[in-house]
Amino acid sequence: LAGIILFKRNVDSIEQVAELNESARHAAPVNSPPIIAVDQEGGRVVRLREPLTVIPCARRFGELDNAEITHKAGKLVGCELASLGFTLNFAPVCDVDTNPNSPIIGDRAYGSSSEKVIKHSLAFARGLISGGIIPCSKHFPGHGDTALDSHLSLPTVSHDIDRLNNVELRPFAAWAEA
């Protein structure tokens, strides 16, 4: 047993989730705890709702543009997830929202500039870490300018390498350096 991810369909109650995560830890080999993951971005992508705190979507944090508040939100999410036995959160989104017609990213991104995405994705990630959770940035190599939903089709981005390096890949490069 190396890792598991819980989706909304796996969730009946907070108590059930905590028991499920505990049983996964007990099923793992000694000294090899499993990675127990969830998607808890905030906004429209949350697997666990009340009584946990449901934070706003990333775009709201980008609009507010206060990295300290973004960090505190990440820490709150991290503390709540850790208390239920999770170890990894598939968040934050590091996509740059450059296509207003994208069916998948939109308000899940912190903004339409790589600078804003870097500032807030790192703040949220550091908050998750402060709360005891490993962050996992997504969606490498960048999903913000695609026209298709990757759950249904294979989207592509046809920009040249300079554009890709300066926009889509830049947040992920910043993560690698952080």
161 token code pair: 């390498």
User: How far is CA 109 from each of CA 22, 23, 79, 139, rounded to the nearest angstrom?
Assistant: 32, 34, 22, 11
Determine contact, residues 44/108, Cβ cutoff 8 Å: yes
pLDDT for position 30: 84
Task: Output the average pLDDT for the chain.
Answer: 93
User: What is the C-alpha R_g of the chain?
Assistant: 17
The helices-and-strands tally (H runs, E runs) of the chain is 6, 6
Asked if the peptide bond before residue 155 counts as cis, ω within 30 degrees of 0, the response is: no
So what's the pLDDT on residue 78?
A: 98
pLDDT tens per residue across span 135-144? 999 998 888 8
Q: What residue ranges of the chain have pLDDT lower than 70?
A: 1
pLDDT of residue 1: 62
DSSP 64-114: HT-HHHHHHHHHHHHHHHHHTT--EE---B------TT-SS-GGGSS-SSH
Q: Tell me, what's the pLDDT at 14?
A: 94
Give the neighbor-by-neighbor strand order of the sheet with 3-6. 3-6, 35-38, 88-89, 134-135
Amino acid letter, 49: R
- Tens of pLDDT along 10-25? 899 999 999 999 999 9
